């Protein structure tokens, strides 16, 4: 190996994975949801975060709309 390398002579290439990069986010999930994906993770030998991501991606691709109902307390 050389003691020093001249990096200025390097030919740079664009990162081919730039479109596949993921972003870290903080999200609040119910404990039973986390447990479900962690158990599924053990069964499928797939990281649970990958399973959550795949599930959400599938939801998005099918253009599904959540059926969330907000309950408010009346005074």
Distance between CA 10 and CA 46 in Å, rounded?
A: 38
Residue with the larger pLDDT of the pair 6 and 34: 34
Distance between CA 36 and CA 33 in Å, rounded?
A: 5
The pLDDT tens digits of the residues spanning 40-63 come to: 999 999 999 999 999 999 999 999
Sign of CA dihedral 4, 7, 10, 15: positive
Domain ranges of the chain: 25-62
Topology classification of domain 25-62: Arc Repressor Mutant (1.10.1220)
The count of other CB atoms within 10 Å of the CB of residue 37 is 17
Taking the model in full, what pTM does it have?
0.65
Distance between CA 42 and CA 55 in Å, rounded?
A: 16
């Amino acid at each position: 190996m050389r003691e020093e390398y001249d990096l200025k002579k390097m030919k740079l290439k664009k990162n081919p994975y730039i479109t596949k990069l993921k972003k870290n986010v903080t999200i609040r999930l119910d404990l039973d949801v986390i447990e479900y994906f962690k158990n599924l993770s053990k069964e499928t030998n797939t990281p649970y975060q990958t399973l959550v991501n795949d599930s959400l991606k599938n939801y998005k691709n099918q253009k599904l709309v959540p059926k969330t109902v907000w309950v408010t307390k009346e005074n």
